[in-house]
Chain A
């Protein structure tokens, strides 16, 4: 009973923080673009409005796929330590986390491909290609950190950076941090790697056929993915945190870096993006790996 309540609370917390980040991010981008921007709680209003609408569904596969996407990401979140607390106390294995994150994408791909719109299919194929692009440098970075710490448990990696700020992996292995930041930009689907959404080319890609409650589920999935991915980076490179407040603050710093880069770049074509991801971040990550091994 307590376990179910714990999982539920962690889920609500992840959704809440993700939506809050989305709203503040929109305000920051608006100020960069010399306008006022929506209020910082705009994402909550959007999700509330979307869930109050009727939605069109094509078939059972679309319903299942959307729920699978949100479920996959929530399952990933259960294994990520947040300032020392974990929803499922068994293990925080990094390989399991990366594996479960792919379920989110696959669920969305299944839902959207069932709708039959060629725009959506092109968008989904781009999303899966992009996943191929960013997983390789990210895994190289993780490999380096696993070798250094001798364990693949995220909790132990974050605890090994306790002490002073000089113990953080961000300072000890800066090249790995840079490569992970570039891969994070692609993981979160922000420019210059947002070929998946691309409104001007494929009419918003996967989200073109979603309406009402399905779009609300897509928003929630995006919010949870922001939370999970920034939490992984904070644990890997910034030493976790001692309390939840500091943890969320560190997550917000990582998210702000993503927003600042997003505001000033156009998007790559998908071939250019994968070529870039397979040359520059991998080079930096391999360099870091060699420095670790030697």
Chain B
């Protein structure tokens, strides 16, 4: 597989007319979000890649310095569109670390349950997007319908379907309503039954195996060295999970099983999502069983006049794509001094594009992006 790219680069040097430029661009049916790659190609093989980021830059880091601490919770979920809850939890955890407070136990369990439910929706969309990048549209529609059941539960609990603004420094806003837990159990049972259909449609499909095998191989050492985190890292064989290494919320009380495989290519990553899906359902069930009683928020006074003492903290959370980190610097005032956001898609979207794409054909770019769970909003912020 190395010989063609050597020859192609030589052709590119010699004959400028053979190379043409193609925008795998912001306006493309196979791209997730407004992000682009400017590809230089010969025939259908890619020779050089230049990322074209910034279409989704909304200036969050500057904006957050000009709003009150609690106003930023409305901005923060919008940094990641498919999996918004880890943002809120990471931001609030960083503030709680600087203030030195510990939230009540019931709030920790509610945070864990909403985080895991958000992970389920993101996995459903991720599996659907992987199929859609290859032309398999049927499971994508069924998965979006199932995702709607979970979003209805969120609307019942928090008032909004996708951007919840539910976590605050000191806990969560309100307690679980009557009947919510029974409905959640029904939805989980329904999802477990559906997993059998998804297996038959997506994961045992011979064409999916043929298309994804050997695509975008990342070895374990390379993944650790270049900052790949989350299910992608575990699919390359490294058993690291933020919920186990640096636990937050209620994870010290639950037993999280860290699933690893060694394969490292796109097919392994797709199966990894499927295995972690089952594990997430088990975690929610365990958290529901062990949830204690109590209040759900600390009394920190009027949150609009919250003053966080001087200090800094870095809090990280395991989202469905990897490690989401928030670096919060406070100077003792009503507004943050600096908030730095670490998105999990930057190593995969920008660095690995230049490592993997030049040996690939145009057919595989969309499937490669979907398998690495590259989500452009958290590259651009």
Contacts and interface: CB of A to CB of B under 8 A. Distances in A.
Contacts, number: 74
Interface string A74-91: 000000000000000000
B22 A200 contact: no
B363 A33 contact: no
Interface in B207-226: 207-208, 210-211
A263 interface: yes
Interface residues of B, number: 31
Contacts of A122: 44, 362
A142 interface: no
Contacts of A194: 135
Interface stretch (A3-11, A38-46, A65-73, A264-272): A264-272
Contacts of B134: 200, 266-267
Question: Contact size class for A?
Answer: 20 to 34
A119 interface: yes
Given A198-B135, A201-B363, A266-B136, A34 B210 contact: no
Nearest to A197: B135
Chain A CB count within 10 A is highest, among B133, B137, B205, for B137
Interface in A243-282: 263-270, 272
Given A118-B22, A266-B205, A201 B141 contact: no
A278 B41 CA distance: 28
A148 to B, nearest CB: 34
A204 B366 CA distance: 13
Contacts of B365: 201
A111 B133 CA distance: 27
Interface string B262-275: 00000000000000
Interface of A: 32-35, 118-119, 122, 191-192, 194-195, 198-204, 263-270, 272
| Nearest 5 CB-CB pairings of A with B | A200-B30, A267-B135, A266-B134, A266-B136, A33-B141
17 contacts: A33-B141, A34-B145, A119-B22, A122-B362, A192-B135, A200-B135, A201-B363, A201-B366, A203-B28, A203-B30, A264-B138, A265-B136, A266-B131, A267-B207, A268-B207, A270-B363, A272-B211
